[in-house]
Amino acid sequence: MGIFDRLANLDRRLIFLVIGLAVAVPIILKIKMPIRISSEVRSAYETIENLPEGSVVLASMDYDATSAPELTPMFRSFLRQCFRNKLKVVYTGHLAIGMPLAQFDLDAVTEECGAVYGVDYINLGYRPGFTAVMIGIGREIRDFFAVDYKGVPVDSFPMMKDIHNYSDIALIVDFAHGQTAEYWIQYVVSRFGVKMFACVTGVMAPTLYTYLQSGQITGIIGGLQGAAEYEVLVGQPESAAFGMPAQSIAHLFILAFIVFGNIGFFITRRKK
Amino acid sequence: MNLLGTWIAAGLTIAILSFLYRDNPFYKFAEHLFVGVSAGYWVIYIWAFDVQPMLVDEFLRQVGIEKWLLVIPAVFGLMMMARWFPAAAWVSRWPISFTVGIAAGLALTAQVQGYIIPQIQATLLPVVSIGATTAETVGQSINNIVILVGVICALLYFYFSREHKGALKVGSKIGIVFLMIGFGASFGYTVMARISLLIGRLTFLLQVFGLR
């Protein structure tokens, strides 16, 4: 049996082991690599930088544990940038199971930045029927969120006094692992003319580039690479930036597997 | 308590990853535990964030016609449960029709206003785009031509009213190339996403075991 026949019949558990080591070793050795900032991430970052102090940003948490390694670093960097620029964050979500997960990061970053609940940010919680909620906020946010996530009336919080609908919201940022980013664009951005950028998983990012090219969104932060770039821009590299060397090395091994696999395939096919 | 939670999470992660070697009872246990906990969590969440605040509390708070209008969604919700009883399953079609009708109505305007028209507008590009520098002019013009050719050829590939012969065949073949590049980009991003999940879990495990 030649080397290519062996490659063609390679035990797939060996491939899992190699990929596992390709990821684990750079993490253990704390390898560092330079991170180049892409135009779509810079554009998203600058959208927030250009907002006047006191502007309201609506953050929609539409992810859960299955995509936390990609989206959590984006959310943490986003909160830091908003609080540093003295922006008000209204936090809601369309995925019930993801809300408590993001709450950990919300609590950690608000404590770190000294943000005050009800003054600098508010958690409105989850409501079902996301398209109806998205459109309904265009009329009056209290129609769906009369109370916050703990059942306290939103009118009792100072920051909610002047927030009624999208005309009071300067920017929407969606943290999504599904299609909610597209729903925000189609149902809200086009209808109400609110600015938006999307923080999405690598799986979702390619579908959003058409919206970036058409100017419907101002930026995309996609996947761990996007998260790492955003962390660097915000000036506090964390899990995404530290994870990128492992990502790059794992990609090199995957490329090698694809190249050798194809060479082996063509050679064994020619022999037959 | 936090320490215990961390070790449970680490144990369950290893149990799930053990499937990569072969199916085993530890994996099965973790999988069933996840399904059970998720289902229980959803029940609690739907009661606490949907039914109680938006139906029960609202019914108690409202007065007059607003109060009694809430009976309609309550009855529709109960009708959905008719699916559990084969003889009465047809009753659930009414609330499903209502939901589908609402979703279709909302989606229709959103698709036209938020997707079709802006995307067509974004495709109507000048073949020669004048930039501030020559390099910018050339670069932007090439981008515009690629977008135009890509859109037209991809549409030709999905034109099935005539046999793909002659110019139509050439156009549709070019369309396939654009589609394949699109699929490749999506697949590449998907690989990145999956490796990111592995990085997240391995970082967690290595932290638990003091290796990071």
Q: How far is CA A37 from the centre of its chain?
A: 16
**Considering the domain boundaries, does residue A240 fall inside one?**
yes
Would you call B206 and A224 a contact, using CB atoms and an 8 Å cutoff? no
Assess if residue A19 is contained within a domain.
no
Query: How confident is the model at residue A268, as a pLDDT?
Result: 81
- Does a structural domain hold residue A16? no
Mean pLDDT of B159-163: 90
- Cβ pair B127, B145 in contact under 8 A: yes
% pLDDT > 70, chain B: 100
Global confidence as pTM:
0.89
Number of domains in chain A: 1
We report the CATH number of the domain holding residue A192 as 3.40.50.620
3-state secondary structure of A64: coil
Handedness of CA A16, A18, A23, A27 (dihedral sign): positive
Shortest Cα distance from A2 to chain B (angstroms)? Answer: 26
Does residue A222 fall inside a structural domain?
A: yes
pLDDT of residue A126: 86
| The pLDDT of residue A1 | 65
Residue numbers in A near B110 (CB within 8 A): 131, 183, 186-187, 190-191
Q: Average pLDDT by consecutive 10-residue portion of chain A (272 residues)?
A: 74 91 94 94 97 96 90 96 96 84 90 95 89 93 89 93 95 94 95 96 94 96 96 95 95 91 83 72
Amino acid letter, B191: V
What is chain A's percent helix, strand, coil content, to nearest 5?
60, 15, 30
Q: What is the pLDDT of residues B34-43, one digit of tens each?
A: 999 989 988 8
A163-A164-A170-A172 Cα dihedral, nearest 10 degrees: 110
What is the distance between the alpha carbons of residues A223 and A34, in angstroms, rounded to a whole number? 17
What is the 8-class DSSP label of residue A147? B
Contact B122 A16 (CB under 8 A): no
Please judge whether B21 and A13 are an interchain contact, meaning their C-beta atoms are less than 8 angstroms apart: yes
Residue A104 confidence (pLDDT): 87
CB contacts < 8 A (A, B):
146
How do residues B94-129 score in pLDDT, each as one tens digit?
A: 999 999 999 899 889 999 999 999 999 999 888 888
* Cβ(A68)–Cβ(A168) below 8 Å: no
- How far, in Å, CA of B191 to CA of B187, rounded? 6
Look up the domain containing A63 and give its range: 39-246
Domain assignment of residue A6, yes or no: no
Q: Which residues of A touch B197 (CB under 8 A)?
A: 66-67, 69-70
Q: Do the Cβ atoms of B199 and A243 come within 8 Å?
A: yes
Q: Is residue A13 part of a domain?
A: no
- B189/A202 touch (CB, cutoff 8 Å), yes or no: yes
Residue of B nearest to A94 (CA): B49
A52 assigned to some structural domain: yes
Q: Is the pLDDT of residue B195 over 70?
A: yes
Residue A140: predicted pLDDT: 95
User: Is B203 close to A222, i.e. CB distance below 8 A?
Assistant: no
The first and second tokens of residue B100, run together, are 């589908």
Q: What is the pLDDT of residue A9?
A: 76
Q: Which residues contact A178 (CB under 8 A, 6 or more apart)?
A: A62, A63, A95, A204
Assigned domain for A76 exists: yes
Could you tell me the strand order of the sheet in which A220-222 lies?
A: A121-126, A88-93, A56-62, A171-176, A195-200, A220-222
By percentage, how much of chain B surpasses pLDDT 90? 73
Interface mutation vs chain B, best among A12, A27, A95, A217, most B CBs within 10 Å:
A27
Which pLDDT score is estimated for A109?
A: 95
> Is pLDDT at B1 greater than 70 in this prediction?
no
The answer on pLDDT for B51 being more than 80 is yes
Q: Indicate if the pLDDT at residue B81 is higher than 80.
A: yes
Task: Print the SS3 string covering A11-45.
Answer: CHHHHHHHHHHHHHHHHHHCCCCCCCCCHHHHHHH
